[in-house]
Amino acid sequence: MISQDCVIIVEGLTDKKQLEKVIDDQVTIICTNGTFDIERFDELLETYQLDEKDVFILVDEDKSGLKLRKQLASELPHADHIYVSSEYREVAATPERILAMLLLGKHIAVNPQYLA
């Protein structure tokens, strides 16, 4: 599985809580609260050493999520992207089983109860 040097960037607290239920690994989950400003990003970059870690971007499939993904992708070109289905639109609304499969596909350990 992924090393402990793994960070997932999400939009909101409900997204973070949904992921915390599913992930069975030492992963740092950062909430952007749906906004992106370069000062806050620089702070995150330094605090979490994002240039030296495996970074995943997991945001909602809506206008604000797509905008945030684009901004983060330009600042973190090495980041890997995880996409939720447009059927669910939001990370928090995506069933745990689906999230578990998406995370497993990126080699992030998940709680086996969500794979049944």
Residue 112 covered by a domain? no
Q: How far apart are CA 74 and CA 2, in angstroms?
A: 23
Q: Is residue 89 part of a domain?
A: yes
* CATH number of the domain residue 60 falls in: 3.40.1360.10
Task: Give pLDDT tens digits for 46-92.
Answer: 999 999 999 999 999 999 999 999 999 999 999 999 999 999 999 99
pLDDT at site 4 = 60
Is 115 within the bounds of a domain?
no
Domain that holds residue 29: 6-107
Residue 48 lies in a domain: yes
How many domains, in total, are found in the chain?
1
